[in-house]
Every structure is written in structure tokens, then in C-alpha cells.
Structure 1
Amino acid sequence: MAQDFQLPTTHRVLQLISTEEPLQVKTIPTPQPGPGSAIVQILVTGVLSYSGEIYNGKRQYPFPKPFVPGASAVGRLIAVGPDATMSLGQLVLLDCAIHARDDPSAVMLSGIVEGFTEASRKLMHGEWRDSTYAQYTKFPLENCIPLNEERLLGSPSTGGFGYRVEELVHISRLLVPYGGLSDVGLKAGETVVIAPATGPFGNAAVRVALAMGAGRVIAMGRNESALKELSASNARVYTVKITGDDQADTQAITKLGPVDVFFDISPPMAAHSTHLKSAIASLRHGGRVSLMGGIKTDISFPYASFMHRNLSLKGTWMYTRYQMLSFVRLIESGLLPIGKGSGLIVERKFGLEDWKEAFEAASVAGINEVVVFVP
């Protein structure tokens, strides 16, 4: 571990000036720590599959301009404010979901979106404007999650898992469905329907549900080859193809039930998919629904059925700090492997100047792969 924790006066960043022009690699002054913050040297940061559509304006995400984009990352504490208790050199996961300290409902995603309230916008337009596509970044202390370096990166001969540092980026994707599954209290031995399960976050949800002890995971999707791969991955995974016939799909699910939990991670284009109706219809009395998808339009649901079957509906955007800490313990326990042999992949690494290639690679990456920047 490097022992020189001197901050350079300047550092390189990938900066967005406008969605109408290409991103630029620039050299800017290195931020300084203050109370409640830390300066982190970025070792590796993830690239979302739709990053290109965020920063060219296609997705119309609101954020200030100019700013330094980014996502969750892994880095090392280089400087801290006077109220910090962590040691310099600590390996940390930088969580992109930044909450206002005085208003938990004010949430923005660092480097991605400023949120949906005036309070959340204040966070990104102020102290936390710049994110992790940089050599160094300033982050809230509570978003610097300590990682057990000896356990995660250490040699198996000494009790470690031998992960590569870039493989730790998988944690940030897996953490998202953990928030929703945790919120509806998924218990060991229960049956959960995950739909659609053939995308990156749906696939992650399958892994997380198994690690949380689900007795049976029913993965729904349209991609038959992806469903076949999921079925072969674990004896507790069963699959149901979304056919568009909601009654037939409900029957296919209930043959594998009774179902305790339905976890939905639908993309925006799935607003009219029949899987929502099928999965809800398959729930047992007292079943729970977790919504974590990106559907923008209103969705109807069977009011009387919800009432008579005592169903619960819970929406979750991201996760809480407690859930983050709990999930990191799950990773450090080894119950959810992320390294070689787990099927999770990190093969494509890019420098900041290769951002176009990184965004393109991420857009076509497999559901088990993450693409990363190494600043």
C-alpha cells in the first residue's frame, strides 16, 4: 500500500461542458477536504451501459453544466476532514447515492442525475458537483464505505478472496437490487419472482436473492438463451418466458409457487409488458411487491385483489446507508462471490481519454460484465 498521501495541486478529469459537444479531459485544481468530506484517489470507476445516452442528452437527465460525470467507484482515502475517523490509505467503495444530511428525502446520484427536488438539486449544484471520472474526487464521508482490503484482495493462502480491485466495482451494481429485496424483507427459503431477469440489474437481482437465502428464484424474461443460462447457473433458479399471454404466464409461475415476493426492475420501455400483471397475480396471500424499475408512465393494478389478498407494494430508489453496510458484510462473508469463477466479468478497462470507446463498450457489454475507467 502506498504511504505517500500528499495531494497533488492539480489532477485530470473527464468534464462535460454541454450535452451538445464532446466530453473533454482537463487538468483542474485538486479539491481539498473539509468537515464531513474526504478526498479519494480513484482506482477504478464503473461505466453504466447507458452512459452515452446520459451525457449526449438523449435521456434528458438533469444535471449542472459544466461538471465531472461519474458513478460509484473504488478508491483510497488520501485526505480527510477534521471530523473523520477512518485512516488515510483506507480502501473504500464510493457510493454514488448522496443524501442530504438534514433531509433524507433529498437524494442525487453523483455524476448521473441531480434528483427530483430543489433540495437534491442543491446538492449537485453545490458541494458535490463533480464525481468520479477523475484521478481524485471530494466525497461525503458517509458515502465512503470502508472495505476489508485484506479479506477482499488478499491471497487465498492467508484467508483472502484474491479479488482484483476492478472486480469490486460489481458491488455497486449488485447493491441496487439488494435495496429493494431488503425493503420487502426477503427471507431465507422464500420464493421470489424477478422480472425482467435478463438485463444487468435483473441478473444481479437473481444473484443477490440467492445469496440472501431465497429457496427458489423464478427468473422471467424474453431472451430464451439468457434464461437458459440463468437456469443452468444454480439449481434454485427456475425460468418463465414472458410470452405476452398474462394468464398463461401466471399459470407457468404458479406451478413453481407459491410466490412470496415479486421484484420488478423493468426498463422504461416495459411499461406495457404483461409480466407485471402475471407476477402480481401469482403472489400468495400476504405477498409483497418491490418496484425498482424505470417505468415513467402510470401502471394500473388490481385494487380488489390487492386488498383481499393482503398484498404489500413497496417502491425503492437505490438503498439506505445501513443497507450498504449490510451488503458489504455479505460480500466480505463470501456468500456472494464476485471474482474469478463467479461468472462476473471485468475485461475492458479504459483511460479517461478513451471515453468514447468506454461508453460504446458498456452499451454492448454482457449482463455479467462491467466496463471501467482506470483514471
Structure 2
Amino acid sequence: MRAAVLTTFGAPLTLQEIPDPVAGGGEVVVEVLATSVPPYAEEVFSGRRKYPLEPPVVPGPGGVGRVVSVGPDATRLRVGDLVWVDPTVRSRDDALTPDITLQGWSSRGEGGARLARHLHDGSFAELMRVPTENVHPLPAEASDDPARWSSVGVYLIPYGGLLAGGLEAGETLLVSGATGNLGSAAVATALAMGAGRVVTPGRNRAVLGLLADRFGPRVRPVELIGDEATDRAAMSAAAEGPIDMVIDLLPPSAPSPVVRTAAMTVREYGRVVLMGGVGMLGGDDLALPYPWIMRNSVTVRGQWMYPRSANTGMIRLIASRALDIGQERVRTFPLDAVNDAIGYAAAHGGPFDRTVLTPPVC
């Protein structure tokens, strides 16, 4: 099969012929129809984000495909099934604290690295080998536009944070980083889940207007000026009532005071979920006042990715039209234009912009 290979950090990906993967026990081989290229992919492949990939490697975080072969323990999957491939792979030998790798993308700790060496290659290829439990059937309608459906992976990340924070219908949510690629996905997902209001702070006036125009009065945009006290007051005023939950999805380049300003708008007994990248590339870490957390009974938790059950939940949200992906701007590239796709994704990383590789049918 053909695959795009990262031979070393800082070098362009190269298209190579490599052996077809073979499914073992507990595994499935999938023909890749569409796979998302994240806006920050160039930062990963250049080495600037310091992701623990081990070149040479076929990168790529999951995607949409068709089942080619299944292992002997699969009882419901069939060859030809249209599926979503979840890149979040968990070890099977510790149900309480499993090691995790994002297949073809990243990992956590030495256990995650060992898992990544076993399931080394991702979705920038014609075929990929994945664990059976990471393959999720899609509705037949997804076959009409698999490139658009590959955005499942973008929405799953904030969905995991909203589930972790226990967002309930009618509640008010503040999305820190709302004008970014993941932040805007969080806005759309929260509204699909029934949020009463979503406060969307940011500096990009055009994007704030886009969010308000697309989603209507349930979205409350706030243009930030950079002063903590003023910005916090403006966000609280926009909510027109208590803010039940804050989710942070800001990138590593964001300064920590921006996260703190947003987090400290949450009400007494409120929840703060941290999913962004602040501090990962150096700079000040997040500092929240101990007395404020304690005296207001605020819950602060981190969340990396999402539980396995979130895949089914997200597919249902999209299939039911509660979450509308029809208005997204999708640009597709063939596998042999992978480096063009990476450059395009970096330049088009705004809200509802999707860059997708569509490897040819084998």
C-alpha cells in the first residue's frame, strides 16, 4: 500500500510503498477513505510541539473508512462496513488506569509509548490496522460524504470535556478559546447538547460575529481587551446569570492569565475543565487561587481526549442533525499531495475549516 511517512522531524512527509497491514486477534484492517489534517500538524511534524512520535512513522489521527478484514474475535463487524476509526487507543491490561496512545499522533508516558510501538502507524495511508474496539459503525448516509464525516474527530475532543464537566441542558457554558478550531467545535457541541447559553470570549471580532450569526442569541460573544478584571466582568455580564461551567481549549501559545480570567468567572459549585495546551511549550503555568477554589467549592479537572462511549454519542448527535456539520468548509487533498494539505491546514485553521486527506480506493 501507499502511505505518507514522517522519516524525521523537520522533513516533508514522503509517499512510500510499505507492506499492507494484517489484522491479528482483537484487530481490524480498515481502508482509509478520509482522514483529517489538524491545523497544527506542521508544528507536530517540524518537532516544535515535541510530540513523542518515533520516526519513521505513518502519522494521522483516525478517520473514516471501510472494513477490509477482521480478527477472529469480532462478532458484529463485517467486511465492507463503513466505520469511524477512533485514534484513542487504551491498553487492555489495566481497566482502572490504562495507558493511552493516540495512534499515529501522540502518547502518554512509557506505557503509552510501548503501545504506540505496537500500533505504530496512523491514517495517512491507504490502509491501517486498529484495535477492534476503536472501530465504530457509521450510518449509511456518511458514505455520501466521508470527508465531511471525518470531522467527527474534531468534535469528539471538546465533547469529551463537556461530558467530563457534566454539562446539562439549560446550563450556561463559557468556552475559553471559542474562536479557534476546537473552541468553535465546543460551542456547536454544547448547543447540540442543550446548553442554554454559551459565552464565547475572544479577540477576533469577525469570528465572534460568525459564531453569533450561525447560532443565534444562545451565543454571547465577548471581545477581550487583555485586562483581567475588565475581561472577567465583561464575560460575567454577557452570561446574564451564573456561569455553570468553563471549558478551556486554548493552544500552547496562549498566555496562562487568559485561562485564569475565564476560569474565575464560574459560579460557586461550578466546574472548570482544562483541555488546552497552556504551558506545554514553556511559559508560566496556570495559577488559580487556592482560597477561591476552596471557598467557592469549585471543581477543577483536566481531561485528555474522551471516553470510548463518546464515539457513539457523537455519531448519534451528527446523524440526528442535532449537530449540523453541513455548513463546514471542507477542502480535500489526495494522499500524494499530503504536504500541500499540511500547509493548507496551517493557513486555514479557523472555525469550521476542515482539511482532509482522501486516499484513493485500493
TM-score range relative to shorter protein: over 0.9
Please give the residue correspondences for 1:277-316 in structure 2 after superposition, counting only pairs within 5 Å: 277-296=260-279, 297-316=284-303
For residue 158 of structure 1, what is the aligned residue in structure 2?
none
Give the match for residue 187 of structure 1: 168
| Deviating more after overlay: 89-98 vs 20-29 | 20-29
Contact 1:244 1:273 in 2 (8 A): no
Sequence identity percentage: 38
Q: State the shift of 1:277 in Å.
A: 2.9
Measure, in 2, the Cα distance between the counterparts of 1:21 and 1:326. 38
Per the alignment, residue 351 of structure 1 pairs with: 334
> Which of 117, 127, 131 is the aligned partner of 1:125?
117
Please identify, of 360-369 and 185-194, the stretch whose mean Cα deviation from structure 2 is larger.
360-369
Q: Is the 2:256–2:278 Cα contact (8 Å) retained in structure 1?
A: no
Q: How does 1:34-53 map onto structure 2 within 5 Å?
A: 34-53=24-43
SS at match of 2:163: helix
Q: Is the counterpart of residue 251 in structure 1 residue 233 in structure 2? A: yes
- Give the ranges of 4+ consecutive aligned residues of structure 1 lying more than 4 Å apart after TM superposition: none
Partner of 1:107: 100
Structure 1 residue 367 displacement after superposition = 2.0
Letter in 1 for 2:109: T
Contact 1:217–1:237 (Cα < 8 Å) also in 2: yes
Report 1:155-304 matches (<5 A): 164-234=145-215, 235-255=217-237, 256=239, 257-274=241-258, 276-296=259-279, 297-304=284-291
CA contact (8 A) 2:201 2:235 kept: no
Partner Cα distance (2:127, 2:267) in 1: 50
Q: How many residues align?
A: 348
Tell me whether 1:21 sits opposite 2:14 in the alignment. Answer: no
State how 1:84-99 maps to structure 2 within 5 Å. 84-85=74-75, 86-99=77-90
Unpaired stretches in structure 1, ≥5 consecutive residues? 1-10, 154-162
Contact persistence 1:220–1:240 (CA under 8 A): yes
Q: Deviations over 1:131-178 (max 9, x none)?
A: 11111110111111111224x45xxxxxxxxx5121101111011100
| Mean CA deviation greater in 54-63 or 204-213 | 54-63
Q: Distance in 2 between matches of 1:218 and 1:84?
A: 44
Higher relative contact order (CA 8 A, sep 6+): 2
Contact 2:92 2:98 in 1 (8 A): no
The aligned amino acid for 2:305 is M
Q: How much has 1:190 moved relative to structure 2?
A: 0.3
Shift of 1:116: 2.7
Aligned to 1:368: 352
Q: Match for residue 44 of structure 2?
A: 54
1:20 shift after superposition: 4.4
One-letter amino acid of the structure 2 residue matched with residue 246 of structure 1: E
Aligned to 1:157: none
Structure 2 unaligned segments of length 5 or more: list them: none
What RMSD over aligned residues (CA atoms) do the two structures have, in Å? 1.4
Choose 329-338 or 43-52, whichever is displaced more. Answer: 329-338
CA distance in structure 2 between the partners assigned to 1:282 and 1:29 by the alignment: 53
What pairs with 1:129-144 in structure 2 (closer than 5 Å)?
Answer: 129-144=120-135
Amino acid at match of 2:24: G
Where 1:77 maps in the other structure, the secondary structure is: strand
Residue from 66, 75, 83 that aligns with 2:73:
83
Q: SS at the partner of 2:209?
A: helix
User: Residue 256 of structure 2: SS of its match in structure 1?
Assistant: coil
Please give the alpha-carbon distance, in whole angstroms, between the structure 2 residues aligned to 1:202 and 1:332.
21
Asked whether the 8 Å contact 1:352–1:374 carries over to 2, the reply is yes
Deviations 1:310-366 (A, max 9, x none): 110111000010122222222222211112xxx3121x2112221221111100113
Partner residue, 1:5 = none
Name the SS for the 1:300 alignment partner: coil
The alpha-carbon distance between structure 1 residues 306 and 371, as it changes in their structure 2 partners (threshold 3 A), is: same
Which moved further from structure 2: 55-64 or 30-39? 55-64
Shift of 1:267: 0.9
Distance 1:279 1:63 in 2: 32
- Tell me how far apart the structure 1 counterparts of residues 313 and 341 of structure 2 sit (CA, whole Å): 31
Counterpart CA distance in 2 for 1:277 and 1:65 is: 37
State the TM-score, normalizing by the size of structure 1: 0.90
Distance in 1 separating the partners of 2:50 and 2:148: 30
